[in-house]
Structure 1
Amino acid sequence: MHIPGRSILRQKPGTLAKGLAWFSIGLGVAELLMPRRFSRVLGMPGQKNLIRAYGLRELVTGIGILSTRNPRPWMLGRIKGDAVDLATLGWSAKHGSAPVKAALAAGLVAGVTALDLRSASGLKREERARRAPDYSDRSGFPKPPAQMRGLARDAAHLR
């Protein structure tokens, strides 16, 4: 059985981060080009400068993720931006002119936030794995096993 979106959850953290970066760039461009429409749909008429600022943030974090070898700090920036978006949408749901639309948008942002968190935590695990020393070629003996044979027996006679 195919579950929509399931393949997203199986992606490597770096691949997921790149996908989220492109999503961020697309959303940022849309917010920069259509701020009045976004503010009206979200029940925040007259807040086009705020929407533009959020669009610029999305654009910068998306470009940051794509342009670095370590996207994790930029992913953390996305997560912080998601928190700001959720707070703004929460305010709009309570005080704005389109509370249902703002609440639906908050649900969508929460879903993207879950993907951001998954990618950032996966990137952290990968980073730890790269830093960990590799002891797989070590036996724990000071000499190769062939040279160690019989040493314990010989040491018993030395007492």
Structure 2
Amino acid sequence: MTRETTMGVRSVTDNLGIQRATRDQGPEGLARFLGWFSLGLGVTALAAGSRVARAAGVDDSRTARTVLRAAGIREIGHAAVLLVPRRAGLGPWTRVAGDVLDLVATGRAYRNRSGERRRRAGLTLAALGGITAVDLYASVRATRNRRGSPEGFAHGSVTVNRTREEVYRFWHDLENLPRFMYHLQSVITTGPRRSRWSAKAPAGRTVEWEAEIVDERPNELIRWRSVDGSRVPNSGTVRFAPAAGGNGTEVRVELEYAVPGRRVGSLVAKAFGENPQQQICDDLRRFKQVIETGELTRSDGTPDGTSIQTQAKQRPARPLATYRIA
């Protein structure tokens, strides 16, 4: 199994040559670390404000304790944002904003202090500078990861034992897609570049939309997208390239679409096993079989793929019958 990370998306290739995409967990892990770090700072500032003030070279006055108490509450707020996965992408930026406030306040304290207090304030200022650099790095990385890996994005590739011309012709006829993309019920061509799509949705529902081909290069690329106003905004790109060694064709597919109901719909879809990451692997396996053999072998237990719905319908295992030889 090989892995490659690009723009926040990690490509994983299994032992059958099917490549799928998963999110790069690096930025999320860093955000969680900063979340726990913020929680520790916040609790310390609230529980031992006087000691923190003295260590930082700040006066142990009522005003200083009030400021530290407010900073502690702010840090706990950062932790609450950073430790929630859906909000972790924005959380580091809240820490950067807090760091700027701390740098300004500590800088003023440094200018107004002398002797040992000035030295402590200087050390605190240097530490804050380092923390700000880490927070800024985490913020930029998290933002890039969110932009590079949208929620409804998946890509995959497979090598098939067919020429680019054959594979391109197969994909160019979009009505072939439901033959191996089981979440699609039908694709009907309505014009030279237009088509009407019907797909399965969670809870047995159906969604429909109009799509158009926006770019095509014979034997190289086909790109389509839903028209404006579609219930399910989506787009897809399929690229065709000679396989390594000149044997067959490498097919790379990229899909991006929004799940109906947004976050709630996404959770429901994942509960039923119907999401882009899972589907792309199953679809490419079936495509390879269809294009190479002309037919698709379906198992008795899972004729429509690997969703939880279909798995629940599998027949239970039965013991082999015992035969008596006369």
Q: TM-score, normalised by structure 2?
A: 0.38
> Do 1:25 and 1:62's aligned partners in 2 also have CA atoms closer than 8 Å?
yes
Which SS does the other structure have where 1:144 is aligned? helix
Larger radius of gyration: 2
Q: Give the corresponding residue for 2:93.
A: 76
Which SS does the other structure have where 1:107 is aligned? helix
Q: Aligned residues, how many?
A: 135
Using a 3 Å threshold, how does the CA distance of structure 1 residues 136 and 24 change in structure 2: closer, same or farther? same
Using a 3 Å threshold, how does the CA distance of structure 1 residues 84 and 133 change in structure 2: closer, same or farther? same
Structure with higher strand content: 2
Aligned match for 1:59, one of 76, 79, 96: 76
Which SS does the other structure have where 1:63 is aligned? helix
> Do 2:28 and 2:85's aligned partners in 1 also have CA atoms closer than 8 Å?
no
Using a 3 Å threshold, how does the CA distance of structure 1 residues 73 and 36 change in structure 2: closer, same or farther? same
Q: Give the corresponding residue for 1:22.
A: 36
- Pairwise CA distance, 1:133: 7.0
Q: Distance in 2 between matches of 1:133 and 1:64?
A: 24
Structure with higher helix content: 1
- Pairwise CA distance, 1:145: 4.5
Hey, which bits of structure 1, 4+ residues long, moved more than 4 A? 132-137, 145-149
The unaligned stretches of length 5 or more in structure 2 are 1-24, 158-164, 173-217, 220-326
Percent identity for Structure 1 against Structure 2: 29
Q: TM-score, normalised by structure 1?
A: 0.74
Letter of the structure 1 residue corresponding to residue 49 of structure 2:
P
Q: Deviations over 1:99-131 (max 9, x none)?
A: 111111111111111111111111111111123
Q: Give the corresponding residue for 1:12.
A: 26
Using a 3 Å threshold, how does the CA distance of structure 1 residues 133 and 73 change in structure 2: closer, same or farther? closer
Name the stretch that deviates more: 12-21 or 22-31: 12-21
Q: Deviations over 1:48-92 (max 9, x none)?
A: 110110011011101211024131222111000000111111011
